[in-house]
Amino acid sequence: MQTEKEMFDIIINTARSDDRVLAAYLKGSRANPNVPRDIYQDFDIMYVVKETGSFRADPSWMNPFGKVILKQEQADVFGYGDRFGLRRHYDKTYSWLLIFEDGNRIDIGVETLETMREGCNRNKLFLPLIDKTGCLPQLPPPTDEEFYVRKPTEPQFRGCCNEFFWSLCDVVKGIRRDELPFAMTTYYAQSHHMLEIMLGWYIGSKTDYSVSCGKQNKYFKRYLPENVYLLYEQTFPDSSYEQFGQAIKISCRLFREIAVLIAESLGSIYPEEYEQGFMKYTKAVTDA
């Protein structure tokens, strides 16, 4: 695998040798001072260019990076362009996700000078790599503060509690009907998601809302107390309905324990009625 330095040398030399490129900057985790370095991190690179069309028409300019074994483009159906609503404005910005045979990954894009000035593709994780024309903005050092957990409002807290237990009623219904895809998808997309939001608020409350839980909450293990994280691990069910039911019970226990603490931190009251409504519904359909 090429080293980080070797990769950055290629990235910068590619920008330096191509007259179409005005500047290049780094985004993402490698620009984040709070993220531990490892070999799995992507190189999130943006080239500021005179135009995007020639880069799309002939991708041979990416050859110096190495042999590509898997690629996804902004225009691909079902890809990241679809997920994030980016399948448009290719004349302003375009990007590729590349995996190379040595295991390195680059998420690389091109954007016009006007698009760069609008700031459409950047946030506070911004680190200039090369600026051939003096076009890049002068910004403070990179920070991930935009992704910090935010303290919830009272309506947000109550809404999270309501959605957690309401969605669990649908999960129970799916289990009773032997509709595993429906039950499992609803559990993860709605109920479990609310549990993770509540756990994020717990982390925020313990850190003065000054940290990020990372993409898809990947830093939960770093910030949650060990006993809490061990319970959280048990909220992931397998395809057995018996184990699924146990995971739901543990989810309810964990959600309640954390939600009570968040309510106290907000000077609020845990909405017991939502949990009681779920319990009554579960008993009603089980006894039916």
Taking only the tens place, the pLDDT of each residue in 26-79 is 999 999 999 988 999 999 999 999 999 999 999 999 999 999 999 999 999 999
Taking only the tens place, the pLDDT of each residue in 253-263 is 999 999 999 99
pLDDT classification of 222: cutoffs 50, 70, 90: very high
What confidence score (pLDDT) does residue 150 get?
98
String of DSSP letters for 189-244? IIIHHHHHHHHHHHHHHHTTS-----GGGTTHHHHS-HHHHHHHHTT---S-HHHH
- What is the percent of the chain where pLDDT is above 70? 100
What confidence score (pLDDT) does residue 87 get?
92
String of DSSP letters for 122-152? --S--EEEEESSS-S---PSP--GGGSPPPP
Residue carrying the six token digits 């028409």 = 57
Taking only the tens place, the pLDDT of each residue in 119-153 is 999 999 999 999 999 999 999 999 999 999 999 99
Which SS3 state, helix, strand or coil, does residue 90 take?
coil
Enter the tokens of residue 141: 């050092």
What confidence score (pLDDT) does residue 286 get?
87
Q: How is the beta sheet containing 93-100 ordered, strand by strand?
A: 68-73, 93-100, 105-112, 43-49, 21-27, 127-131
CA 191/CA 168 separation, integer angstroms: 6
Provide the residue type at 68 as one letter. V
Provide the residue type at 38 as one letter. D
pLDDT classification of 288: cutoffs 50, 70, 90: confident
Taking only the tens place, the pLDDT of each residue in 194-203 is 999 999 999 9
Residues forming a β-bridge with 45:
26, 108
* pLDDT average, residue stretch 103-132: 96
Enter the tokens of residue 6: 């070797």
Which SS3 state, helix, strand or coil, does residue 277 take?
helix
Taking only the tens place, the pLDDT of each residue in 165-207 is 999 999 999 999 999 999 999 999 999 999 999 999 999 999 9
CA 207/CA 134 separation, integer angstroms: 39
The residue count for the chain = 288
The pTM is what?
Answer: 0.92
CA 152/CA 41 separation, integer angstroms: 31
What confidence score (pLDDT) does residue 287 get?
84
Q: Are strands 105-112 and 43-49 parallel, antiparallel or unpaired?
A: parallel
Query: Is it the case that residue 96 has pLDDT exceeding 80?
Result: yes
Query: Is it the case that residue 250 has pLDDT exceeding 80?
Result: yes
